[in-house]
Amino acid sequence: MSTVLSSVTQRFSAQRLITASITCGALVFGLSGAWADSTATQVTVYKAARLFDSVSGQLQEPGVLVIAGHKIQSVGPASSIPNGAKVVDLGEATLMPGFIDAHVHLSEESGPNWYLDFFNGMLRFPAEQALYGAHYAKATVEAGVTTVRDVGSSEYLARSLRNAINAGIIPGPRMLVSNYAIGSTGGHADQSPFPPEKIAVATPIKGVCNGPEECRAAVRYQIKFGADVIKMIPSGGVLSLSDPVDNVQMTQEEMNAAVAEAHAWGRKVAAHCHGDKAAKMAIAAGVDSIEHGSFLADDTLASMKAHHIYLVPTIFAGYWVGVNNEKFPPAIGVKARAAAEQIQQMFQHAAKIGVPVAMGTDAGVEPHGMNANEFWLMTKNGFSPSQALMAGTAGGADLLGLADQIGTLTPGKVADVIALQGNPLADIHATEHPVLVLRDGVEMFRKSP
């Protein structure tokens, strides 16, 4: 027991030394001060049967990766192995960059009983819910997801998780967070239709805005409280009680104002759109990604390709709410069925058209730690295994604005690395079984032999 505790303590002390912090807006990674020297001296060579190169989409055989401190030093069988380096042979495994999930809700999770979730959601204190978030963050990084974009949380839970992870006091993925999503009264971004005599109506500080000036204010509040990215809700959603799934919920002027304000502060905008008309308006406003996209028409997908706007398809969430449909109240169940029927077809069209895709799962709608299920659903709907893996690595890094730091196994980049049992290009389900997870060069998970 004491050995386990001391190894855990050592691991987190090491992690704390690596101040791979994403500070609000500045998106800065880096070592600080004397800590850099102590970690830079640790050189580890990882050997495996193969390595997935997310630049070319090809496998290298055998896979060799040299990590010095928190960074990748060299890649490939020709790498020279420094004297005194620790060598880890992973056998029949595949090394690859850590997964990037561009759409999660790390501070919450739906269970099998919607009504119980609602009840708990009303009664849990933020401090109590934060402990659940820490549990979900651990499950996520242990599933091989080394970076997430958290696109919607209440009570500043996600930014608090991000800061605790960056401080090294809990294990978890690198996080970019949006705080509250921005949208209109009664829309998907608003709270449930509680009687205002019982629950106060939400205002721009909680992301609910009407008119361009309020929407600017809503964006500013999220940034003030630490948002790295802005989540905007121009269209209806599935898991909300009082709106259609696909209607337009913000005016063009509101979307233009929110996006302009976010961009003025150096934040990208992720737009939740099931409906096609809302997506067309969001594209005109200049958003950086469309989330879900269930009912997108081909001309919308083509316009996304032309403007390099990412699709974050969250196919697994659509699949999950489809197969667990009976747990929802009827008003939500109808919407869940409608979206579940369309999202896979839409993805097939997106794949043919060649829209840039970043992997995203909407984890929290489904249990955390199952993120890799998105990969087989992409391959079932038109992507090759290699394309799916690139969407979950290099694609995500590009969308998040972190391509110079993560997403590929390139010397000089941060050592976010996983090893999968088997060959994911031969069997995509290999993505569901990481045997090793490193974030910033620090071991977050290793499957016991």
Interface of this chain with Zn ion, residues 332 to 371, rule: CB under 5 A? 362
Least distance to Zn ion, CB of residue 175, Å: 15
Least distance to Zn ion, CB of residue 26, Å: 25
Least distance to Zn ion, CB of residue 365, Å: 7
Q: Does position 150 bind Zn ion by CB under 5 A?
A: no
Cβ proximity to Zn ion, 90 vs 137, nearer residue: 137
Cβ proximity to Zn ion, 104 vs 389, nearer residue: 104
Query: What is the H or E stretch that residue 230 is in?
Result: strand 229-232
Report which residue type is found at 134.
A
Cβ proximity to Zn ion, 362 vs 440, nearer residue: 362
Cβ proximity to Zn ion, 50 vs 149, nearer residue: 149
- Could you give the C-alpha distances from 180 to 125, 183, 204, 209, in angstroms and in order? 17, 9, 9, 12
Nearest residue by C-beta to Zn ion?
362
Cβ proximity to Zn ion, 300 vs 361, nearer residue: 361
Least distance to Zn ion, CB of residue 339, Å: 12
Cβ proximity to Zn ion, 252 vs 324, nearer residue: 324
Q: Dihedral sign for Cα 183, 185, 187, 193, please.
A: positive
Least distance to Zn ion, CB of residue 183, Å: 12
d(CA 209, CA 186): 10
Report which residue type is found at 215.
C
Count of positions (residues) in the chain: 449
Phi, then psi, of 343 in degrees rounded to 5: -65, -35
Bridge-based pairing of strands 93-97 and 229-232 is unpaired
d(CA 332, CA 320): 14
Least distance to Zn ion, CB of residue 354, Å: 25
Cβ proximity to Zn ion, 178 vs 423, nearer residue: 178
Cβ proximity to Zn ion, 275 vs 385, nearer residue: 275
DSSP state of 102: E
d(CA 355, CA 353): 6
d(CA 67, CA 42): 8
Least distance to Zn ion, CB of residue 286, Å: 21
d(CA 39, CA 13): 11
Q: Dihedral sign for Cα 156, 162, 166, 168, please.
A: positive
Cβ proximity to Zn ion, 276 vs 362, nearer residue: 362
Burial of 114 (0-12, 13-18, 19+ CB in 10 A): middle
Least distance to Zn ion, CB of residue 181, Å: 8
Cβ proximity to Zn ion, 53 vs 362, nearer residue: 362
- Could you give the C-alpha distances from 165 to 41, 248, 410, in angstroms and in order? 23, 36, 24
Tokens of 233: 């809700």
d(CA 328, CA 343): 19
CA angle 214, 215, 220 (to 5 degrees): 95
Least distance to Zn ion, CB of residue 274, Å: 11
Instruction: Enumerate residues 6+ apart whose C-beta is below 8 A from 115.
Output: none
Q: In the block, which residue shows the tokens 């361009």?
A: 212
Least distance to Zn ion, CB of residue 362, Å: 4
Largest CA distance in the chain: 71
Least distance to Zn ion, CB of residue 105, Å: 6
Cβ proximity to Zn ion, 325 vs 410, nearer residue: 325
d(CA 392, CA 371): 10
Interface of this chain with Zn ion, residues 73 to 112, rule: CB under 5 A? none
Give the binding site for Zn ion (CB under 5 A): 362
